[in-house]
Amino acid sequence: MKESFLHQGCIYGSDAEFLAMAVPFVQDGLRRGEPVLVATSRPNQGLLHDVIGPEADGVEYTDHEHLGSRPPQRATAIHRYWTSRRPAGTVRVLAEPEWTGRSNREITDWQRMEAALNVVLADTRIWMICPYDSRAVSPDIIENARRTHPECVVGHRAEPSSQFVAPEEFARSRAQPMGIAADLFRFEGELAAVRRYVLKKATALLKSDDDAVGMFGIAIGEIVSYLARQGVDRAAVWVRPAAGRVVCTLHSDTPLDVVDPFVGYRPPGAAELPGDGLWLTNQICEWLDVTSDASGCTIELAMPEQAAEDLRRAEKSRQSCGR
């Protein structure tokens, strides 16, 4: 029985190699009465179902989208799965990320999530294996899988990954650069006026979508509160359209007291570091980047101009958390 979060990667290059890992992992969990969630490709789910046979009825199968289309949503979904089944003790999750068709930025964000899980799920009793198909995934993604998983599994054997790096170190190495030029900012004012200004600009850019404007307002409100808690009382703001998104950048010359590379990943009620509290913003927005150094802090968030499904998911999450 696992007493804390166990995060393993599995690099496989054939159906046989996938099954050599997945079958004993699932069958052992079922024998122990542990909940088992399988979120892999449909072909792999079919392979596993065929081999396990009647026992497969005790497995919960789901697709990638059910766990969320973006990394923060997936981290939340996995945490909730454990919370809902916590009386059973250990929970097993076989979660295969989907890499096909993703942009470089999306790949980086998913890799950062793999590192984040080691921190934000540390106090759970989840045993999680993340399979990576070397036939379909680039060598760079495979390499980073070894850096974000403390252990790697081959068949039923697990060994420590010699390439694993501290999650915080990995996240900082993959931070997205944010070009900040003073002449690009269109507004500078006290935090009390920031939300009103941003909403006024965003309303026109979001094509009068009341739901999107409302959720964007919630995100900006969280950011204003986040900055205020860390002693930031003024910020410059730049709101603009960019490739089908509305992007908002806030910058202050005041550095943050606490800089958490995984800010926004911890669900409400989970152990939070001082200065966290951007979970809902991370659920709502397509991306959320927070940086800080001696020269000040910068926060950037983006929302698609048309994001109906993500908004429905974020609103459901907000209601379920009583927020």
Among all chains, which residue has been given the structure tokens 């999680």? 128
Instruction: Write the DSSP assignment of 230-255 as a string of letters.
Output: TT--EEEEEEEEETTEEEEEEEESSP
307: domain range?
182-320
pLDDT in tens, 297-310: 999 999 887 654 55
Count CB neighbours of 240 within 10 A. 13
Q: What is the CATH number of the domain that holds 193?
A: 3.30.565.10
Phi, psi dihedrals of residue 246, rounded to the nearest 5°:
-105, 120
Which of 136, 155, 173 lies at the terminal end of a domain, its last residue? 173
CA angle, residues 190, 196, 197, in degrees to nearest 5: 75
Question: Looking at the structure, do residues 145 and 84 belong to the same domain, yes or no?
Answer: yes
Of 154, 142, 216, the residue nearest 25 (C-alpha): 154
pLDDT in tens, 190-246: 888 888 888 888 888 887 567 888 888 889 999 999 999 999 988 989 888 888 889
Query: In the 8-state DSSP scheme, what is residue 40?
Result: S
Domain count within the chain: 2
CA angle, residues 92, 96, 99, in degrees to nearest 5: 160
Question: Looking at the structure, do residues 65 and 118 belong to the same domain, yes or no?
Answer: yes
Question: Looking at the structure, do residues 188 and 169 belong to the same domain, yes or no?
Answer: no
Query: Which tokens go with 53?
Result: 């046979």
Q: Report pTM.
A: 0.86
Residue 233 domain flag: yes
Question: Looking at the structure, do residues 13 and 98 belong to the same domain, yes or no?
Answer: yes
Which of 110, 144, 173 lies at the terminal end of a domain, its last residue? 173
Residue 1 domain flag: no
Q: What is the CATH number of the domain that holds 151?
A: 3.40.50.300
* CB of 148 closer than 8 Å to CB of 197: no
pLDDT in tens, 252-261: 999 998 888 8
Which of 173, 201, 220 lies at the terminal end of a domain, its last residue? 173
What confidence score (pLDDT) does residue 255 get? 94
